[in-house]
Amino acid sequence: MAINWFPGHMAKTRREIKENLKLVDAIIEIRDARLVASSKNPDIDDLCGNKPRIILLNKSDLSEERVTKEWIKYLSNDNIKVIGVNCITGNGLKGIKPLLNELLKEKHDRMTAKGIVNIVDRVMVVGIPNVGKSTFINKMAKNNIAKTGDRPGVTRSRQWIKTKIGMELMDTPGILWPKLESDETQLNLAFTGAIKDEIMDIEELALKLIEKLQTDYPDRLMARYKLTELSEEPLENMNSIGRKRGAVVSGGQIDYNRVAVLLLDEFRGGKLGAISLERP
């Protein structure tokens, strides 16, 4: 399944990130805790260079806690700090300021020595579409300054947002990279909605998701859709889900589009339980 989605505003955003780096002290990069590798834009490392960075593994309530802890250990170093969060509930967000203080200790020490008490850190927020950047910013600002939506591509222009913890956030639109090399990366991003459903064959996508779940999380699939057994064939399992959920049209045929929409919505909403699509 070949997927490439690189609207013009994304190329512009790459230029803006590079130009605006000199205005910020640190980077907050948001990824999806369910697909930590796939939700990383590989351009971010090159664009951000050695800027201190905090990686937020958002939607960590939807991923396996054990796997998320493995990712935190794997990604952390002196210049990069990692925490699992939920940007909707705010769980984990209190850990950001201590990590930022740790990363920017030299700057804070210099300013304190000059007698400056109210130190404000300027931070750029980056990430691919639909990982929760706007939700995070709204939570930190405690009002709906940034636009939010459950479809990628909502945030378009740069804006500064003040918070109450001595931190100003620069929002940036979500960017994907021009060519998604790996089939696994393409599928993982599509499963979670980081790529617009409108450009996808969602029936084929749902079939691929069933194939993934029947291998890695068969018990979850069976429990959610009340299946007594799973076939080795994903299409047979899709048929079984359709029959269990009444997605049948005249003549007893399965309404595959309805099954696809149902399955993807329930997976994205966490109704199949905590699932990690990737491990370090």
Side chain identity, residue 164 = K
9 band by pLDDT with thresholds 50, 70 and 90: low
Q: Is residue 58 a known part of a binding site?
A: yes
Q: Is residue 143 a known part of a binding site?
A: no
Q: Is residue 101 a known part of a binding site?
A: no
pLDDT tens-place string over residues 18-37: 888 899 999 999 999 999 99
pTM: 0.86
Q: How is residue 160 annotated by DSSP?
A: E
105-113 vs 96-103: helix crossing angle, rounded to 10:
70
Q: Residue 96 in contact with residue 86, Cβ under 8 Å?
A: no
Q: How is residue 248 annotated by DSSP?
A: B
User: Distance between CA 75 and CA 115 in Å, rounded?
Assistant: 35
- Mean pLDDT on 239-249: 95
Q: Is residue 61 a known part of a binding site?
A: yes
Q: Is residue 144 a known part of a binding site?
A: no
Whether the per-residue pLDDT at 5 is higher than 70: the answer is no
Domains in the chain, CATH or no CATH each: 8-171 (3.40.50.300), 201-268 (1.10.1580.10)
User: According to the model, what pLDDT value does residue 150 have?
Assistant: 43
Q: What phi and psi, each to the nearest 5 degrees, are found at residue 251?
A: 85, 5
Residue bearing tokens 């999380």: 217
User: According to the model, what pLDDT value does residue 197 have?
Assistant: 84
Q: Is residue 131 a known part of a binding site?
A: yes
Largest CA distance in the chain: 80
Nearest Cα to Cα of residue 152 among 182, 116, 193? 193
pLDDT tens-place string over residues 55-75: 999 999 999 999 999 999 999
Q: Is residue 59 a known part of a binding site?
A: yes
Q: Which sign does the torsion angle of CA 222, 71, 270, 45 carry? A: negative
Q: Is residue 132 a known part of a binding site?
A: yes
Q: Is residue 216 a known part of a binding site?
A: no
Q: Classify residue 270 by burial, with Cβ atoms within 10 Å: 0-12, 13-18, 19+.
A: middle
pLDDT tens-place string over residues 115-165: 998 899 999 998 887 889 889 998 998 865 654 444 444 444 456 888 888
